[in-house]
Amino acid sequence: MKTVDINLARELLIKGDVVAIPTETVYGLAAWIYSEAGLRKIFSTKERPFFDPLIVHIDSIEKAKSLTGNWTVVHEILAKSCWPGPLTLIAKKKNSVNSLITSGLDSVGLRCPQHELTLKLLSTIDGGLAAPSANKFGKTSPSQASHVFHEFGDDVSILDGGPCQVGIESTVAGIEKHSDGWKVLIYRPGHFTAQTLKQILAVHNIKATVEYAESPVAPGQLKHHYMPNIPLVIVPEHFQWEKQRNLIEQKFGREFLKPAFWELSTDPRIASRELYQDLRKFSDFGHDLILIMRNSAQVSDDWMGIWNRLDKAKSLSISNNLAALE
């Protein structure tokens, strides 16, 4: 594994290379925002389509403001309350922000990660670092340096910061001003829930609705994303493999000899932290299928980010009436 320290990481980034960096969510494949060569290398290394925007990581609110022309009072309150932390805020970009980062859109996602090593690195670099997850496009995100190495080998240098503590990607939120107040739209659920953001704004006497939505301004919006190397099937409660396996095997046109029966932790914080690590380990242990039960007790806001990732990572889901669905 080709690891680097902060000084070498900075040198590589300034020269137009990419470096895997640790955050509290997942490891990111970073490039300096003012290096077009580095930005292009993100897309080529990940085999990522250019229509999927990147998030810019910065180490201060001041740097965030320097990249946008419409930093609102809501941006300010949420940033001061949640940064450093797993919240990405969408804002109108300045012309100086390369359109490769924003996929040609006029908005940019900005985030201050909660990881000491990466914050130190960011403090040494003008602007910031664009960094999607450090994995091949559409595949399971890395929550440890070894996951990055497994994905790219020595082709990517790694700033090793240990295991990620949150474990799934940041909440992504857009902010709109309307005649009757503010609206916060969560385009990708994560650690910060709609209820949490609403409570933060209420404390600051900001009248705002907070709701979930989808938009191309946020990454990870495709139907299939985060997918493991073997099929993941979501089954209903009371599903019995031996009695009902034919539903799955007929759909895939093959027999599964070593299925893994996956149970998430009952604590959503732990389930989040372990999610991608567990998704990867099943194929490493020789399983050919992952089965996970959709638990009716896991429906609160705290679980939304986890099930968002699982619904995109799945190959198939089985409905309660045992009719197979894509």
Residue 289, strand partner residues: 259
Residues in contact with 238: Cβ distance below 8 Å, sequence separation at least 6, in sequence order: none
Inter-CA distances, 298 with 272, 275, 301, Å? 12, 14, 9
Domain count, the chain: 2
Answer yes or no: do 51 and 161 share one domain.
yes
- For 54-69, write each residue's pLDDT tens digit: 999 999 999 999 999 8
Answer yes or no: do 203 and 241 share one domain.
no
Choose the final residue of a domain: 155, 188, 219. 219
The closest alpha carbon to 273, from 183, 174, 167, belongs to 167
Domain with 318, as residue range(s), is 232-325
Burial class of residue 286 (count of CB atoms within 10 Å of its CB; 0-12, 13-18, 19+): exposed
CATH number of the CATH domain containing 73: 3.90.870.10
Mean pLDDT of 200-224: 84
Answer yes or no: do 127 and 21 share one domain.
yes
Residues in contact with 2: Cβ distance below 8 Å, sequence separation at least 6, in sequence order: 149, 154, 156, 157, 158
- Judged against a pLDDT cut of 90, whether residue 23 lies above it is answered with yes
Answer yes or no: do 170 and 21 share one domain.
yes
Answer yes or no: do 198 and 238 share one domain.
no
Maximum alpha-carbon separation in the chain: 60
Choose the final residue of a domain: 167, 187, 219. 219
Residue 319, pLDDT score: 80
Three state DSSP letters for 44-59? HHHCCCCCCCCEEECC
Residue 276, pLDDT score: 96
Q: Residue 102, SS3?
A: helix
Q: Identify whether 124 is part of a domain.
A: yes
Lowest mean pLDDT among 88-92, 172-176, 217-221: 217-221
- For 142-157, write each residue's pLDDT tens digit: 999 999 999 999 999 9
Residue 180, pLDDT score: 83
Strands (E), the chain: 19-21, 28-32, 55-57, 87-92, 107-111, 129-130, 157-158, 171-178, 181-188, 208-212, 232-235, 259-262, 289-293, 316-318, 324-325
Answer yes or no: do 146 and 181 share one domain.
yes
Mean pLDDT of 95-115: 96
- Mean confidence (pLDDT) of the chain: 94
Residue 104, pLDDT score: 93
Answer yes or no: do 146 and 258 share one domain.
no
Lowest mean pLDDT among 77-86, 239-248, 252-261: 239-248
- Give the pLDDT band (50/70/90) at residue 280: very high
Q: Identify whether 227 is part of a domain.
A: no
* Residue 129 near residue 17 (C-beta atoms within 8 A): no
Choose the final residue of a domain: 196, 219, 242. 219
* Residue 13 near residue 125 (C-beta atoms within 8 A): yes
Q: Identify whether 284 is part of a domain.
A: yes
For residue 304, the surrounding DSSP H or E stretch is helix 301-313
Residue 206, pLDDT score: 93
Answer yes or no: do 162 and 244 share one domain.
no
Q: Identify whether 224 is part of a domain.
A: no
